[in-house]
Structure 1
Amino acid sequence: MIRPKLSLRRPLAVLGAALIGLTGAVAVAAPASAHHTTISATAGCDRLTGERVITWKVVNSEVNKGATLHKVIAEPNTPVTVAMEGGKTVPLEGWVIPEGSSVEATQRVPGNTASAKLTVHGRWFKEGQKTEKNTNDGSINLAADSSCTPAPKCIDADKAKYSHTFDGPKGTATVKLDGDLPLCGEGKQWFTLVSYFAPRPQFATPQYVYGTPDSDFISGTQTEIKLNVEIPDCHTQVDLIWGDVEQVIDPLVEGGKRYDNKKLGSPGAPGNRSSGPQGWYNGGDKSCTTPASTFASACDGSVAVSLTNDGKISKYAVEFEVKGENGFSKKVSVAAGKADTSIVVPAADAGKIEVLVDGEVIENGTYSWQRPEDCPLPAVTTKADCKNFALTVTNPKGGLPVKATFTYGDKTETRTVAADSSETVTFKAGKAETALVALPDLDLELQAAYAPEENCGGGGAGGEEPGLPVTGAAAGGIAAGAIALLIAGAVLFVIARRRRVTFTA
């Protein structure tokens, strides 16, 4: 069969796969006559199909006669075709090789083929001349190359590699399947992002899951996932782990289970099957509890301290320490959501009081004793006769000792009056008509009038001559006052803060 002359420079049709491992191991049959064909071959591997792809080159020995390939025999017996323009192919058998030219044809054979052979029966014809015939062959050794196996179309889940990003403070992560191949079949690989409440900004236990972990899988056409979790507004830990939510540990406790190499970016399997930053974070600048304290002063100088653990979660206990300036110290653990009102700082040990957690004073955790407004005040009473003027301070039960300063005329004496007791100072009666009792601890001054119970005719505060009767309006007033005091059984006194009020009989 005669073929029209075609340019041999036309491009081969695209095979749709990369050809690798070209081989030039070719045997060429010696020509049996002047008219012959020379056959050589090269081979490659189609990684998509796993086939060997042999390119046969057949050269016409004659420069003034075309060679018709009357019969072509291939071993293995698979088609040998020539690529045409536009992607069409035709059989090599029947092809006419122009004078002094050649043709290339392609043959596909199984990937484990050890050798291939091509036999060509050629005929050369020119008008007025005898038709020449010749049979030539060529072969190629494929055993020198490794077998050609198809490139995988997918990757098994247990062999897949991944890459990831991780932002612990923001609670975000991504995981992506490496390479261009999807996971095979129904294979899935889960990944989970989880955040925790934590007692410290460094790793510490116990930890409790915050919110809902975010979990997703890579499978089929889904080759990349994005994960996002809420972060507590306090100390936290965030972990990107290999597996679904069933792998989440809640809580993380001392001596309990750990994620270990399940965290992506770990040095061991399976975490090291994903490349990227370490998939774990510890941080946060606030405590996940809100310890608080309140104080109540008592009249006796003591302070009752109430401690509460009303935190953002009801899981952590808080270790409080209450310190008094004068050496008092007590520690107490308050369970989550609870309060403790058992601590009383005695007056002797109080001074400035501090409440500490983890060695630091908590907010509003400093206090000093303040006298309650409803505490009873000390009482001042007097007793006077013509020779003496006695002043008594009585301190009620349940209060603090008070300092009392007694002043009459140019005489001053100081006493400390214990709670539930009295102190009396007696002055020799003189010309002064009033006495002053100061209570500096209470910021009070009390003024009492000297009013003897009898008529001191010749002496006493009036300064009269001894034995002379007191007459006139003054005498009447004194007498009336004496009668009133006898009836009442006490001397009238006035308590006034920073002011003096004088009563005279």
Structure 2
Amino acid sequence: MIRTKLSLRRPLAVLGAALLGLTGAVTLAAPASAHHTTITATAACDQLSGERVITWKVENSERNKTATITKVTADPATPVTVTVAGAESKPLDTVVIPKGDYVEATQRVPGDTARATLTVDAVWQKNNARASNNGSIDLSADQSCSPAPKCVDASQAKYSHTFDGPKGTATVKLDGDLPLCGDSKQWFTLVSYFAPRPEFATPQYVYGTPDSDWIGGGTQTEIELNVEIPDCHTQVDLIWGGVDEVIDPLVEDGKRYGDKKLGSKGAPGNRSTGPRGWYNGGDKSCTTPAATFASNCDGTVTVSLSNDGKTSKYPVEFEVRGENGWSKKVTVEPGKADNGVEVPAAQAGKVEVLVDGKVIENGTYGWDRSADCPLPTVTTEADCDTFSLTATNPEGGQPAKVVFTYGEKTETRTVEPGASETVTFAAGKAESAIVVLPGLELEMEVAYAPEGDCGGGGGGEEPGLPVTGAAAGGIAAGALALLALGAVLFVVARRRRVHFTA
């Protein structure tokens, strides 16, 4: 008789890339008679399907007789098949076991099966001997078999990230080779803020538009995020969630991101590995303090303060300083201006505007008389015995110091705004008087020209015209025209004499 040995290589090949873990706990049934089959088993896990794959080995005890299998009972009751070389798989209960040989059969059972048994009935043809034998395998010692995952559940997914706060950039990547399952998506958001200081402080206001994107949808496993950074103190946060998670503004005792920041110690931020996803910095204040100055005719300076630039998000406390310790503080809200700071004339020679103890850009000034400010005027009266000069200071100006000099005599007066001062000299041989305003750096020469005939005395040989040089005649003629109106105006001239006749 020809011995035929059945090959069971094909079922093993079908498992392909399945991860197989062997289980060796096998129980054998005692032979029912001299003729018997011996049944043993091994098992492995097919991770592609999540099933246990049991390989049953059924041996013929007789070396000179074939055994015909007549019945197979399996628990779990799933098919038990063998594959003969060159043939399709067929049930085990149709197989003949050669003399002294064995067959191997394959059975697939659920992955959580704890125990499997197989009972084989066989008959030996020469003497019609019959036997029913069984075998079993204990699978409980092994963990239940599950299919290899094809995706990762969003609730279990892990990520890794990069973060560059000063540049406002970040990336987030799903760890592993599997996408998120189904249509699930996980959102991440990068947001930047205006901040009052370069370290954490409140309040903070969102700058620009936060950048938000998601990982998932079965295909997207990595994202890049970019935000604009203000040109001032800032905070940048990489957070778990979409734009609905953005807090604006961040205020004292208000909501915080906490462990939603990627790279945090707690969940969900700790589900992404990488640097801390938050940054505080910037070297400029998020305000735009500015000052403009205007000199007033009365010697005061009006300081206009503003806080209305594009980065002005916080109130600014200005300090306006003058000379001799004078100081005034003013707070200007963001987007506003204040025009109400007036530095007194006595302190307006040097004005400084400071914020946080530092002089701001273009924040220094000194009072400067405007060309529009009216000048003091002088009128004269003269006869053969006296020469009177009257200085009048217009309202709205500063007190004016006036020095009158005629011949050897000098008189000094301070003329208040809106007032006049008169000095009278005894007529002498001097042909003109000098009037000086030191505070304005102005000087004028006024000719002594009494009305009427003084007999050739008092004012010199030819009274009425000053003797002041080549241009004196023309200037005197102009002065006489002004005297016809009862007043002589000072001409604005720095340390230059202007000649008038009285």
Would the TM-score normalized by the shorter structure come out above 0.5?
yes
Structure 2 residue identity aligned to 1:340? D
Question: In the alignment, what sits opposite 2:470?
Answer: none
Once structures 1 and 2 are overlaid, which stretch shifts more, 446-455 or 384-393? 384-393
Q: TM-score when scaled to structure 2?
A: 0.76
2: CA distance between counterparts of 1:20 and 1:352? 91
Would the aligned equivalents of 1:174 and 1:224 in 2 still touch at CA under 8 Å? no
Q: Mark the CA change 1:154 to 1:493 in structure 2 (over 3 Å): closer, same or farther.
A: closer
1: CA distance between counterparts of 2:189 and 2:322? 49
Shift of 1:353: 1.8
Question: SS of the residue aligned with 1:261?
Answer: helix
1: CA distance between counterparts of 2:10 and 2:347? 106
Question: In the alignment, what sits opposite 1:145?
Answer: 142
Would the aligned equivalents of 2:298 and 2:396 in 1 still touch at CA under 8 Å? yes
Q: Mark the CA change 1:379 to 1:492 in structure 2 (over 3 Å): closer, same or farther.
A: closer
Match of 1:165 among 141, 151, 162: 162
Shift of 1:301: 0.7
Show the 5 A alignment for 1:482-493.
488=484
Structure 2 residue identity aligned to 1:25? A
Once structures 1 and 2 are overlaid, which stretch shifts more, 224-233 or 350-359? 224-233
Q: Mark the CA change 1:452 to 1:314 in structure 2 (over 3 Å): closer, same or farther.
A: same
Q: Mark the CA change 1:413 to 1:59 in structure 2 (over 3 Å): closer, same or farther.
A: farther
Post-superposition CA distance 1:186-216 (Å, at most 9, x none):
5443333333333443333333333443434
Q: Is residue 196 from structure 1 mapped to residue 193 from structure 2 by the alignment? A: yes
Would the aligned equivalents of 2:320 and 2:328 in 1 still touch at CA under 8 Å? yes
How many residue pairs match? The answer is: 487
Q: Is residue 208 from structure 1 mapped to residue 201 from structure 2 by the alignment? A: no
Would the aligned equivalents of 1:447 and 1:494 in 2 still touch at CA under 8 Å? no
Question: In the alignment, what sits opposite 1:342?
Answer: 340
Structure 1 residue identity aligned to 2:171? T
Q: Mark the CA change 1:249 to 1:356 in structure 2 (over 3 Å): closer, same or farther.
A: same
Q: Is residue 115 from structure 1 mapped to residue 112 from structure 2 by the alignment? A: no
Would the aligned equivalents of 2:444 and 2:499 in 1 still touch at CA under 8 Å? no
Show the 5 A alignment for 1:295-306.
295-306=293-304
Would the aligned equivalents of 1:326 and 1:349 in 2 still touch at CA under 8 Å? yes
Q: TM-score when scaled to structure 1?
A: 0.76
Would the aligned equivalents of 1:13 and 1:85 in 2 still touch at CA under 8 Å? no
1: CA distance between counterparts of 2:83 and 2:456? 156
2: CA distance between counterparts of 1:412 and 1:59? 147
Post-superposition CA distance 1:344-392 (Å, at most 9, x none):
1111232322223344333322221111111111223445566665554
Match of 2:351 among 318, 338, 353: 353
Would the aligned equivalents of 2:194 and 2:313 in 1 still touch at CA under 8 Å? no
Shift of 1:157: 3.6
Q: Mark the CA change 1:366 to 1:265 in structure 2 (over 3 Å): closer, same or farther.
A: same
Show the 5 A alignment for 1:435-446.
435-446=433-444
Show the 5 A alignment for 1:42-121.
42-57=42-57, 70=69, 73=72, 75-76=74-75, 77-81=77-81, 104-118=104-118
Q: Among the aligned pairs, what percent are the same residue?
A: 68
Once structures 1 and 2 are overlaid, which stretch shifts more, 179-188 or 319-328? 179-188
Question: In the alignment, what sits opposite 1:467?
Answer: none
Once structures 1 and 2 are overlaid, which stretch shifts more, 484-493 or 252-261? 484-493
Structure 1 residue identity aligned to 2:317? E
Question: SS of the residue aligned with 1:108?
Answer: strand
Question: In the alignment, what sits opposite 1:466?
Answer: none
Once structures 1 and 2 are overlaid, which stretch shifts more, 71-80 or 251-260? 71-80
Question: SS of the residue aligned with 2:259?
Answer: helix
Shift of 1:95: 6.5
Question: SS of the residue aligned with 2:13?
Answer: coil
Would the aligned equivalents of 1:50 and 1:148 in 2 still touch at CA under 8 Å? yes
Shift of 1:21: 4.3
Structure 2 residue identity aligned to 1:41? A
Shift of 1:300: 0.7
**Structure 1: 5+ residue stretches without partners:** 463-469
Structure 1 residue identity aligned to 2:74? E
Question: SS of the residue aligned with 2:22?
Answer: strand
Shift of 1:494: 6.6
Structure 2 residue identity aligned to 1:148? C
Structure 1 residue identity aligned to 2:269? G
Show the 5 A alignment for 1:8-407.
12-16=12-16, 18-19=18-19, 21-27=21-27, 40-57=40-57, 70=69, 73=72, 75-76=74-75, 77-81=77-81, 104-118=104-118, 138-151=135-148, 154-184=151-181, 187-224=184-221, 226=223, 228=225, 230-235=227-232, 236-312=234-310, 316-384=314-382, 390-407=388-405
Q: Mark the CA change 1:435 to 1:402 in structure 2 (over 3 Å): closer, same or farther.
A: same
Q: Mark the CA change 1:293 to 1:489 in structure 2 (over 3 Å): closer, same or farther.
A: closer
Question: In the alignment, what sits opposite 2:472?
Answer: none
2: CA distance between counterparts of 1:59 and 1:275? 56
2: CA distance between counterparts of 1:441 and 1:32? 138
Match of 2:497 among 496, 500, 505: 500
Q: Mark the CA change 1:56 to 1:206 in structure 2 (over 3 Å): closer, same or farther.
A: same
Would the aligned equivalents of 2:449 and 2:463 in 1 still touch at CA under 8 Å? no
**Structure 2: 5+ residue stretches without partners:** 467-475
Structure 2 residue identity aligned to 1:145? D
Structure 1 residue identity aligned to 2:22? L
1: CA distance between counterparts of 2:112 and 2:58? 25
